[in-house]
Amino acid sequence: MFKFKRLRKVYRIYFPLKNTPNEIFENHLKNNNEIDYFEKENQFYKIFLKNGLSLCLRNEYFSDFLVFDQIFNFKEYEIILGMIRLNNISNQKNIIIDAGANVGYTSLFFNYYLSNSFICAIEPSFENAKLCYKNFALNNLNDNLHFYQRALSHESGMTFNLERDFRDGKDWAITTRNVEDGEIKGITLREIIEEHKLEYISLLKIDIEGAERFIFKDNVDLTFLKITKIIALEIHDEFNIRESIYSILREFNFYLFECGELTIGLNTNYLKCEN
């Protein structure tokens, strides 16, 4: 028996077992420090986090776990969470606009850690939006949320189609293209502000896969910046727009710094008003 075990061990060194992509994916779930346990439900995985949140994600062929990793393991928005907590001196409601909500993890992160929040989440992809709804319902977020299955637009009345030819083509890199009679309606920040009668925005998060070049282009309505306390923006350098966006944000008195892939801006005028 001992010789057989040794032979099997040596055999496995030279001829290791090959795990399937799904087995590798499930091992990532099992070994993740933030996940307590998970269950498979048809084409979805339901994961239960140690902090009490429950999330749904799709399998290894989608980008959901990569997004989860960014937000809950690498804590991409932890610094912004601290900024909101430290500077929300007046204890106002936390108004968050999540443009490019993907499957809802960022919205859930801020709703979980910030009490008294109201979130407007925007996501153009129908498939991503379905998972958004599922994740929001799992965590009873619907009362604190207004969800738009729309594309963030710089002008009213625009329509868009989805494209998958940006970066790795996965669900976190879906782009929109303005077309006449497109299948997805656009919505502007001005329309959201007016609909909800917003007097301020605690956090404006924009991660819209290059479409930020239209939101911040010349001769568009940028008045939303006047009521935004903190902006968190992913600038996609494929479009050579970083310096022009920096210039616009500085004109509106944002103090800028970079953290990972994010450009973060603090509206110094707004903070002065609060202090």
Q: Are the beta carbons of 151 and 176 closer than 8 angstroms?
A: yes
**pLDDT score at 125:** 93
Predicted TM-score (pTM) of the model is 0.88
Q: Are the beta carbons of 264 and 256 closer than 8 angstroms?
A: yes
Q: Are the beta carbons of 68 and 57 closer than 8 angstroms?
A: yes
Q: Angle 126-103-199 (CA atoms, 0-180°, nearest 5)?
A: 95
Q: What CATH class has 74-274?
A: alpha beta
User: What CA–CA distance (Å, rounded) separates 88 from 275?
Assistant: 10
**pLDDT score at 60:** 92
**pLDDT score at 85:** 85
Name every residue whose Cβ is closer than 8 Å to that of residue 17 and which is 6 or more positions away in sequence.
none
**pLDDT score at 9:** 55
**pLDDT score at 5:** 53
User: What CA–CA distance (Å, rounded) separates 65 from 45?
Assistant: 10
Q: Are the beta carbons of 246 and 225 closer than 8 angstroms?
A: no
Domain residues of the chain, as ranges?
Answer: 1-61, 74-274
Owner of token pair 């083509």? 169
pLDDT in tens, the chain (275 residues): 545 555 555 555 555 567 898 999 999 999 999 999 999 988 899 999 999 999 999 999 999 999 999 999 999 999 999 988 887 655 689 999 999 999 999 999 999 999 889 999 999 999 999 999 999 999 987 778 999 999 999 999 999 998 876 444 455 557 788 899 999 999 999 999 999 999 999 999 999 978 899 999 888 999 999 999 999 999 988 889 999 999 999 999 999 999 999 999 999 987 655 54
